């Protein structure tokens, strides 16, 4: 085996290397062989490294984004200052309607229930029919009472006419007797001097005196008959008044019976939908008993309970936006109609009394009534009790607050 001699570098060889400089092209890798080996690698690095031209668009883009963000922020700030901070919202709001409880004015058996639960009815539509035969009989009885009272009145008037004729006859008798008395008194006055002088016998004078006494007695009897006849006339006239009162009472009974007969038909006082139907055919009902409820879906409104800190700028006539939980994608327009003159607690059954004991302040809520602009199709869904979210634009109330401030400043 031939061993390769180990070559060692001597100090003289290092010196020669240092004395003979290396070619500059070799140090830079510019030798032909180096160029061939490094060219593909440099080309790959150039493809991945961004150039100055490629980065030139980045800074203007950042500037544009910053300007847009500042403009958007300024717009949002302006929008809040002019509109947003005047929007008062609450989710303590509900659809409300003035329900009408249908009850009977009469007692009786339910003959027929015309409507069904949740049915839509028009104003004046028949709801329940109560058996009417009993009330029809009352009308017939009242008619009979009227006829009887009229008959009694006619008889009484006939008796009055007879009594008045008797009065006239008795007065005539009194007048006749009075004339006879006057004649006899004249004859007695004429014969008394003659009898005293003896020119005439006393028998004639005695006859006139006897007739005068009889005539005076007859006059008393005839006058008593006149008075009795007059009393009868007055009594019969009183009976006529009683008969007329009976006729009037019978007419009132007939009118009441007709009203009761009409009330056997229960009709809808308003249009709407039937709810809480309790009437059943064959059921006996009492006056005032609730049979059903009519919900006037055409006259719904919104009751929104705003905090007391939200109503300072709120005034009737302001516009509002309303969103129902049942229709989350639909926004309804509304208008503030009125603000309740007191908080909800003030109108509670037992108002709070804070004069004694410890006091914890609680933000009060004030009910606000709003009109909702909803069409017939929407009103099928918007039934009383549904939850709403209401937002009121109170910008128009700024002038009122300014006027209040000026008013208070003037008072000082």
**CATH number assigned to the domain comprising residue 304:** 2.40.30.170
Position 166 in a domain = yes
Instruction: Please tell me whether residues 271 and 201 are part of one structural domain.
Output: no
Instruction: Please tell me whether residues 110 and 120 are part of one structural domain.
Output: yes
Dig out the tokens for 35 from the structure: 């160029």
Dig out the tokens for 239 from the structure: 């009976």
Instruction: Please tell me whether residues 91 and 128 are part of one structural domain.
Output: no
Domain that holds residue 304: 86-98+294-349+361-397
Model-level pTM?
Answer: 0.61
Position 167 in a domain = yes
Whether 31 has a pLDDT exceeding 50, the answer reads no
Position 153 in a domain = yes
The residue that leads in pLDDT, 349 or 379, is: 379
Band of residue 249 on the pLDDT scale cut at 50, 70, 90:
confident
- What pLDDT score was predicted for residue 53? 52
Distance CA 38, CA 33 (A): 9
- What pLDDT score was predicted for residue 148? 85
Dig out the tokens for 273 from the structure: 């939908």
Band of residue 216 on the pLDDT scale cut at 50, 70, 90:
confident
Per-residue DSSP letter, 84: G
Whether 259 has a pLDDT exceeding 60, the answer reads yes
Instruction: Please tell me whether residues 208 and 308 are part of one structural domain.
Output: no
Instruction: Please tell me whether residues 240 and 141 are part of one structural domain.
Output: yes
- What pLDDT score was predicted for residue 183? 78
Q: Map tokens 């922020």 to a residue.
A: 73
Mean pLDDT estimate for the chain: 80
Instruction: Please tell me whether residues 190 and 204 are part of one structural domain.
Output: yes
Position 71 in a domain = no
Position 64 in a domain = no
Instruction: Please tell me whether residues 344 and 314 are part of one structural domain.
Output: yes
Instruction: Please tell me whether residues 323 and 240 are part of one structural domain.
Output: no
Which range, 149-153, 186-190, 263-267, is most confident?
263-267
Position 197 in a domain = yes
Please classify residue 375 by burial: count the beta carbons closer than 10 Å to its beta carbon, then call 0-12 exposed, 13-18 middle and 19+ buried.
exposed
Number of domains, the chain: 3
The residue that leads in pLDDT, 226 or 33, is: 226
316 backbone dihedrals φ, ψ, rounded to 5°: -60, 140
């Amino acid at each position: 085996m031939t061993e390769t001699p180990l070559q060692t570098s001597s100090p003289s060889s290092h010196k020669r290397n240092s004395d003979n400089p290396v070619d500059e092209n070799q140090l830079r890798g510019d030798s032909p062989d180096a160029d061939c080996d490094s060219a593909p690698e440099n080309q790959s690095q150039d493809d991945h490294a961004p150039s100055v031209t490629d980065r030139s668009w980045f800074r203007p883009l950042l500037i544009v984004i910053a300007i847009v963000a500042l403009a958007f922020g300024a717009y949002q700030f302006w929008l809040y200052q002019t509109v947003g901070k005047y929007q008062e919202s609450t989710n303590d709001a509900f659809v409300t309607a003035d329900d009408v409880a249908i009850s009977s004015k009469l007692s009786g058996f339910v003959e027929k229930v015309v409507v069904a639960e949740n049915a839509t009815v028009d104003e004046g539509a028949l709801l329940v029919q109560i058996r009417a035969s009993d009330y029809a009989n009352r009308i017939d009885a009242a008619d009979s009472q009227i006829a009887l009272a009229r008959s009694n009145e006619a008889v009484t008037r006939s008796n009055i006419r007879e009594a008045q004729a008797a009065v006239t006859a008795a007065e005539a008798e009194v007048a006749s007797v009075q004339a006879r008395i006057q004649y006899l008194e004249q004859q007695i006055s004429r014969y008394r001097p003659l009898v005293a002088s003896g020119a005439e016998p006393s028998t004639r004078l005695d006859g006139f005196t006897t007739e005068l006494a009889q005539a005076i007695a007859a006059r008393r009897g005839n006058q008593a008959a006149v008075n009795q006849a007059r009393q009868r006339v007055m009594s019969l006239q009183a009976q006529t008044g009683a008969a007329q009162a009976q006729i009037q009472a019978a007419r009132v009974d007939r009118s009441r019976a007709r009203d009761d007969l009409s009330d056997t038909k229960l009709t809808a006082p308003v249009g709407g939908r039937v709810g809480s139907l309790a009437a059943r055919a064959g059921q006996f009902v009492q006056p005032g008993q609730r049979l059903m409820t009519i919900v006037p879906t055409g006259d719904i409104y919104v009751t929104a309970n705003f905090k007391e800190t939200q109503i300072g700028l709120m005034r009737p006539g302001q516009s509002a936006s309303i969103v129902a939980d049942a229709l989350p994608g639909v926004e309804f327009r509304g208008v503030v109609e009125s603000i309740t003159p007191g908080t909800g607690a003030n109108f509670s059954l037992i108002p709070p009394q804070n004069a004694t004991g410890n006091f914890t302040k609680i933000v009060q809520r004030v009910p606000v009534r709003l009109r909702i602009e909803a069409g017939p199709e929407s009103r099928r869904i918007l039934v009383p009790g549904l939850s709403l979210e209401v937002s009121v634009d109170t910008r128009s109330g700024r002038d009122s607050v300014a006027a209040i401030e000026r008013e208070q400043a003037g008072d000082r």
